[in-house]
Amino acid sequence: MIDLHLIGIGTGNPDHLTRAAIRALNSADLLLVPHKGDDKADLADLRHMICAQVLERDVPIVGFDLPRRAADRPYLDAVNDWHDAIAECWRATIAAHLPQGGHVGLMVWGDPSLYDSSLRIAARLQAAGLPMRTHVVPGITSLQVLTAAHGIALNRLAGPVTITTGRRLRDAGWPAGAERVAVMLDKGGAFEVLEGEEYFIWWGAYLGMAEQILISGPLHEMAGEIVARRAKARAAHGWIMDIYLIERRCAP
């Protein structure tokens, strides 16, 4: 039997780990660390740094090469095939390094429940017949770190918040009836589809890290600066994780 622990680790700052996350890491028989290519080596390095700071015993840490998602296929088809390939990587790595079964830990940025596919990938293994139980250790989300960094509440008084992706914002525009929209997984500049002066943005990148960048203000004034700072930071580090919250302050 495999006990797979999906461990939320926040946005890369070791201070974001909960006591439950630290216990889960220390109780693992095997920790899996995905490698996303040389241009994103810092992401694997951050996981190793976290382990070095919190592990109190010698836990085997095994890396695996994360498959790449096909860019020439319809998005959902490509993602489903990609998840199948990742599930097979998990299965093969676990079989090679923990054939007798035991506790496997996998560190997940933020929280496994918010725009992360680890739970769906784990479900594929269970559906394929692998004897496995999945456990979730919740983590601090990038939404929480963003609002804390800017010193704001996520929602307006008694108001709703819509959480979406950059792809959806770019394709469909402002969600109908929304007051505030949190946007994740934006490859860059999806907010440029929003025209007018009624939008206000709170943007952040590398949240909680030494490299953290924060920009806020009227969207029509800040959009160009955000796009430029984002491109410069990505070129410098080889990767970027950013998120933003937009408020529509008056009717068009």
Q: What radius of gyration, in Å, describes the C-alpha atoms of the chain?
A: 19
Pick the range with the lowest mean pLDDT from 69-83, 142-156, 206-220. Answer: 69-83
Query: How far, in Å, CA of 181 to CA of 169, rounded?
Result: 9
Q: What is the pLDDT of residue 252?
A: 43
Q: Is the pLDDT of residue 90 over 70?
A: yes
Helices (H), 28-136: 41-54, 75-97, 118-127
Task: Average the pLDDT over 44-72 and give the result.
Answer: 92
- pLDDT band for position 220 (50/70/90)? very high
The closest alpha carbon to 94, from 6, 30, 51, belongs to 30
- Residue 236 φ/ψ, nearest 5 degrees: -70, -35
- pLDDT band for position 43 (50/70/90)? confident
Query: How far, in Å, CA of 74 to CA of 82, rounded?
Result: 12
Task: Average the pLDDT over 119-148 and give the result.
Answer: 96
| 93-104 tens-digit pLDDT | 999 999 999 999
Q: What is the pLDDT of residue 57?
A: 94
Task: Average the pLDDT over 113-124 and give the result.
Answer: 96
Question: Domains (ranges, CATH) in the chain?
Answer: 2-137 (3.40.1010.10), 142-248 (3.30.950.10)
Separation in Å, CA 244 to CA 80, 145, 204, 226:
26, 11, 6, 11
The closest alpha carbon to 88, from 125, 52, 115, belongs to 125
- pLDDT band for position 12 (50/70/90)? confident
- pLDDT band for position 36 (50/70/90)? confident
For residue 163, the cross-strand partners are 182
Q: What is the pLDDT of residue 238?
A: 87
The closest alpha carbon to 242, from 203, 191, 200, belongs to 203
Percent of the chain topping pLDDT 90: 87
Residues with Cβ within 8 Å of residue 22, at least 6 apart in sequence: 54
Query: How far, in Å, CA of 95 to CA of 210, rounded?
Result: 37
The closest alpha carbon to 241, from 200, 215, 213, 202, belongs to 213
| 164-202 tens-digit pLDDT | 999 999 999 999 999 999 999 999 999 999 999 999 999
Separation in Å, CA 223 to CA 91, 192, 202:
43, 7, 11
